[in-house]
């Protein structure tokens, strides 16, 4: 009972601090150097602060005061803090794509050095090392890529980290449970100002930090045998599937994958004329379904786990195929001036 009560207070503190900081950062005066200005690639109509990640991260940081001894997982928060500071600089002054990639590779290598790594029996160590680093880099970037619609990235944080926290609590790993609860609760505070029409954007400081946090917590839980790597990834599968398929398609077409675009499936749905609220609700249903499936299958037999993941991959693949046909049938998209998209490197 005492542990459950402590988790509740952790969530309340993270939520309250994120709400208060986000409320202050909505002010254009405080965020005047971090305003996202509308351009030809965005559909929001007015300058909007992109400092929501600061509120979310401060909410999580404040909750550390109530968290139990963090053991080895605390070391993984240092790369998150460093990446957050560098991403804040990127939001302020801008950093080239090549430099960003080098930073992300360095952060991924640092995470591996700290002991957060894939551990699969029988697999070559060099392959696992490379897979860990590249996996961390991809989680950082895919979260940033998918931060392109009001309420989307914050919702993924709520469902994804909430699922990791619940799985950690069921397995008796209090540090994982506490961090998962803290991030999910802080995301709720941010979402209050980010649901459409958004008054506050996540910014690179928020999206890259959430991607790295997800990678660290998944590697931590998988490394301690709390769940398999694929079950750890399952709550984030809607983001992973959309970003991975979109990037692959763009690469096959010979496009510059690092450049901003509006090719993600959730973007195509809005451009095809589907109301943004319906798109967001649909995304939340998928996120909630993947999160619930991960929690339910975490302790199941391997065959059941792989079957659950395969079924979700088939469902998401079918939805993306249907969405592609709907988008093409609309003639390539109808611009929705309701401000459905927010800032992001790909918008």
Let me know if residue 345 belongs to a domain: no
Helical (H) or strand (E) element with 56: helix 52-63
Nearest to 187 by CA among 234, 213, 150, 155: 155
User: Average pLDDT of 58-68?
Assistant: 91
Proportion of the chain above pLDDT 70, given as a percent: 88
Q: State the pTM of this model.
A: 0.92
The answer as to whether 336 is a domain residue is no
- Assess if residue 341 is contained within a domain: no
The residues, any chain, with a CB within 8 Å of residue 230's CB and separated by 6 or more, are 305, 306, 309
Residue 191 has φ and ψ, to the nearest 5°, of: -60, -25
**pLDDT, tens digit, for every residue of 257-285?**
666 667 788 888 888 888 889 999 999 99
Reported as a single tens digit per residue, the pLDDT across 283-332 is 999 999 999 999 999 999 999 999 999 999 999 999 998 888 887 777 66
Distance CA 76, CA 212 (A): 9
- Phi and psi (nearest 5°) for 229? -55, -40
pLDDT tier, 5 (very low <50, low <70, confident <90, very high otherwise): confident
Look at residue 335 and tell me if it is in a domain.
no
* 48: containing domain: 2-329
- Please confirm whether the linkage preceding 227 is cis (ω < 30° from 0): no
Both tokens of residue 267?
């973007």
Secondary structure percentages of the chain, helix, strand, coil, to 5: 70, 0, 30
In a domain, 247, yes or no: yes
Does residue 340 lie within any of the structural domains?
no
Which pLDDT score, from 0 to 100, does residue 33 have?
Answer: 62
Q: Is residue 337 part of a domain?
A: no
The tally of domains found in the chain comes to: 1
The 10s digit of each residue's pLDDT in 102-159 is: 999 999 999 999 999 998 888 899 999 999 999 999 999 999 989 889 999 999 999 9
| 190-206 residues labelled b (16+ CB within 10 A) or e (exposed) | bbbbbebbbbbbbbbbb
Domain contains 315: yes
């Amino acid at each position: 009972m005492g542990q459950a009560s402590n988790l509740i207070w952790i969530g309340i503190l993270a939520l309250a601090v994120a709400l208060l900081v986000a409320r202050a950062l909505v002010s254009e005066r405080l965020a005047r150097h971090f305003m996202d200005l509308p351009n030809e690639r965005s559909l929001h109509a007015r300058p909007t602060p992109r400092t929501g990640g600061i509120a979310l991260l401060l909410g999580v940081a404040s909750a550390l005061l109530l968290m139990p001894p963090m053991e080895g997982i605390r070391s993984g928060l240092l790369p998150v803090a460093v990446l957050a500071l560098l991403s804040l600089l990127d939001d302020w002054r801008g950093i080239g794509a090549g430099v960003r990639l080098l930073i992300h590779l360095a952060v991924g290598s640092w995470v591996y050095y700290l002991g957060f790594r894939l551990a699969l029996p029988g697999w070559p160590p060099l392959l696992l090392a490379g897979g860990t680093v590249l996996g961390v880099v991809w989680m950082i970037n895919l979260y940033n890529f998918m931060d392109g619609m009001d309420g989307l990235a914050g919702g993924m944080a709520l469902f994804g980290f909430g699922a990791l926290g619940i799985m950690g609590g069921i397995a008796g790993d209090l540090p994982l449970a506490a961090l998962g609860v803290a991030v999910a609760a802080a995301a709720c505070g941010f979402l209050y100002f980010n649901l459409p029409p958004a008054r506050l954007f996540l910014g690179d400081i928020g999206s890259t930090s959430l991607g790295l946090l997800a990678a660290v917590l998944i590697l931590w839980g998988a490394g301690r045998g709390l769940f398999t790597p694929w079950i750890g990834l399952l709550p984030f599968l809607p983001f992973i599937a959309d970003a991975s398929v979109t990037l692959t398609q763009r690469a096959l077409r010979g496009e510059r994958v690092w450049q901003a675009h509006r090719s993600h499936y959730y973007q195509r749905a809005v451009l095809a004329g589907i109301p943004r609220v319906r798109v967001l609700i649909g995304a939340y249903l998928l996120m909630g379904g993947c999160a619930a499936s991960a929690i339910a299958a975490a302790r199941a037999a391997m065959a059941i786990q792989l079957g659950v993941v395969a079924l979700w991959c088939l469902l998401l693949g079918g939805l993306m195929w249907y969405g592609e046909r709907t988008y093409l049938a609309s003639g390539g998209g109808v611009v929705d001036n309701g401000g459905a998209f927010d800032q992001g490197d790909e918008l």
